[in-house]
Structure 1
Amino acid sequence: MEKLKEFFAYGEKVPGYDVRVLNEREARAAAAILFVGAFIGLTNGVMLGTAVFSKYFVTFFAIDFTLRVIQPRYAPSLLLGRFFVSNQTPEYVGAEQKRFAWALGMIIAWPMFYYLVLDFQPNPLKVLVCLICMALLFFEAAFSICLGCKIFNLVKKNKATHCPGGVCEMKIKEPIQTFNPVQKSILIITVIVMAYGAYAYMTKLPDKQI
Structure 2
Amino acid sequence: MWGNFFQYGNKVPDFDVLVLNEREARAAAGILFLVGLLSLLNALMIGNIIVTKYYLAFFTFDFLIRVVNPKYSPSMLLGRLFIQNQKPEYVGALQKRFAWSIGFFLSLPMFYYLVLNWEPSMIKILVCVFCLVLLFLEAAFSFCLGCWIYNIIMPEKSKNCPGGSCGLTFKDRVQQFNFTQKIIVTITIILLSYGLYAYLYHTENRTNFGEAVAYKFMSKEDLAKEKEMQYQRDLEEFEEEEF
Q: How far off its partner does 1:65 sit?
A: 0.2
Q: Deviations over 1:39-86 (max 9, x none)?
A: 121111012212101111111111100100000100100000011100
Matched, 1:32 2:18: no
Distance 1:207 1:4 in 2: 54
TM-score (normalised: structure 2): 0.82
Aligned residues: 207
Aligned to 2:131: 133
The 1-side partners of 2:16 and 2:7 are apart by: 15
Going from structure 1 to structure 2, the CA distance change for 1:144 and 1:62 (only over 3 Å counts) comes to same
SS at match of 1:168: helix
Q: Of residues 67, 73, 76 in structure 2, which corresponds to 1:75? A: 73
| Structure possessing the higher radius of gyration over alpha carbons | 2
8 Å Cα contact 2:47-2:206 kept in structure 1: no
Which 10-residue stretch deviates more, 158-167 or 192-201?
192-201
Equivalent residue, structure 1, for 2:106? 108
Ranges in structure 2 where 5+ consecutive residues have no aligned partner:
208-243
Moved over 6 A (4+): none
Q: In 2 relative to 1, CA 44–208 (structure 1 residues): closer, same or farther, beyond 3 Å? A: closer
* CA positional deviation for 1:206: 5.7
Alignment check: 8 A CA contact 2:44 2:206 kept: no
- Do 2:63 and 2:103's aligned partners in 1 also have CA atoms closer than 8 Å? yes
Deviates more, 1:19-28 or 1:3-12: 3-12
Partner residue in 2 for 1:207: 204
Instruction: Pick from 124, 147, 157 the counterpart of residue 145 of structure 2.
Output: 147
Give the TM-score of the pair, scaled to structure 1: 0.95
Cα RMSD for the two superposed structures: 1.4
Secondary structure at 1:14's aligned position in 2? coil
- Give the whole-Å Cα distance in 2 for the aligned partners of 1:80 and 1:141: 14
Contiguous gaps of at least 5 residues in structure 1: none
After alignment, is 157-166 or 94-103 more displaced?
157-166
Corresponding residue number in structure 2 for 1:48: 46
Q: Against the structure 1 CA distance between its residues 98 and 134, is the aligned structure 2 distance closer, same or farther, given a 3 Å change threshold?
A: same
Deviation, structure 1 residue 200: 2.5
Q: Secondary structure at the match of 2:159?
A: coil
Q: Describe how 1:53-202 pairs up with structure 2 within 5 A.
A: 53-202=51-200
Shift of 1:193: 1.7
Instruction: Please report how far the alpha carbon of residue 184 of structure 1 lies from its aligned counterpart in structure 2 after TM superposition.
Output: 1.0
Which residue of structure 1 lines up, in the alignment, with residue 19 of structure 2?
21
